């Protein structure tokens, strides 16, 4: 499992295995203040990060940092 979370410390304390840093609480996976193309690119990047995180072996709740 991978979670995109605005608040990774909270997700990790709750026991999420792989956590990807989202944008903010109001809009975790995207940013409506960006032009729609940039927002779309950001959303795609976050989802791809989460998908790549799924391929990572972890022992404990981990913030997966994949640029």
Residue nearer to other proteins on the CB measure, 33 or 36: 33
Contact of 23 with 39, CB cutoff 8 Å? no
Q: E-strand spans in 14-61? A: 18-21
The strand pairing partners of 24, in sequence order, are 27
* Cβ nearer to other proteins, comparing 21 with 62: 21
Q: Does 8 bind other proteins (CB under 8 A)?
A: yes
Site for other proteins in 13-52 (CB under 8 A): 13, 21, 23-26
How many residues interact with other proteins (rule CB under 8 A)? Answer: 11
């Amino acid at each position: 499992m991978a979670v995109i979370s605005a608040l990774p410390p909270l997700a990790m304390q709750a026991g999420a295995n792989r956590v990807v840093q989202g944008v903010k609480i109001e809009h975790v996976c995207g940013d409506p203040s960006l032009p729609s193309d940039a927002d779309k690119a950001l959303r795609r990047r976050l989802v791809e990060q989460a998908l790549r995180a799924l391929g990572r072996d972890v022992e404990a709740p981990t913030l997966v940092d994949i640029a």
